[in-house]
Amino acid sequence: MKRFISSLLLGLLVIASATSFTACQNAEKNAPHDKAAAPEATEAPAATPTEAPEEDNAEALAKKEAEETARKEAQAIYEKNCQSCHAMAPPSPNAPSIIALAGQYRARYSKRAGAVADMASFIKEPAVGKSILGTSTLERFGLMAPLSLPDEELEKVAGWLWDQYDPEFEGDADCR
């Protein structure tokens, strides 16, 4: 009985395969091979984003260069004013690391603009009520000293800090 069912299933499989193969061959025979005969033939293909006019490419390149310049300026502000206390990654003996802080801000804020404004405000005038860090972190490191930088520089370095977010980082701001 098992042999009969196995033979029957094998036969059905062969028939189904042959039918499918024949249907594919018929569809291929009936398909138009001449592009002019094809009903969907068009005169010219639509422009793709990579085929944008030179002005758009120049504008995009200028924007990219301006972003890179701003990033470098912000990193230089960090290196000059912040790096002595805030290391990039744990362990950071003097203050929470940049990666940990970026993670804390990303956890609290959904949008960059609000986070940057609050970071800049905190850096300019640190206060316990403005801190995103927990009590144990404040007890461990204390409250940072205010930085007397122009508002433009505060915003640049705060935006740079936001961009240092690493989704793979699993530590907290205490940097234990």
Whether the Cβ atoms of residue 162 and residue 112 lie closer than 8 Å to each other:
yes
Instruction: Return the DSSP state at 145.
Output: P
What average pLDDT does this structure show over 8-13?
46
pLDDT at 10 over 90: no
What average pLDDT does this structure show over 21-34?
44
What average pLDDT does this structure show over 55-75?
93
What average pLDDT does this structure show over 87-94?
88
- Integer CA distances (angstroms), 147 to 56, 125, 143, 151, 169, in order: 40, 8, 12, 10, 27
What is the per-residue pLDDT for 50? 55
> 155-173: string of b/e by CB count within 10 Å (b at 16+)?
bbbbbbbbebbeeeeebbb
- Integer CA distances (angstroms), 98 to 68, 105, 173, in order: 19, 10, 9
What average pLDDT does this structure show over 41-61?
66
pLDDT band at residue 52 under the 50/70/90 scheme: low
CA angle 101, 105, 109 (to 5 degrees): 175
Whether the Cβ atoms of residue 75 and residue 88 lie closer than 8 Å to each other:
no
Average pLDDT for the chain? 78
Cis peptide before 91 (omega within 30 of 0): yes
Domains, in order of start, for the chain: 75-163 (1.10.760)
More confident residue, 12 or 74: 74
Q: Tally Cβ neighbours within 10 Å of residue 98.
A: 22
pLDDT band at residue 91 under the 50/70/90 scheme: confident
pLDDT at 109 over 60: yes
Q: At what angle do helices 54-81 and 151-163 cross, to 10 degrees?
A: 100
Q: Given the structure tokens 């915003």, which residue do they identify? A: 155
More confident residue, 93 or 119: 119
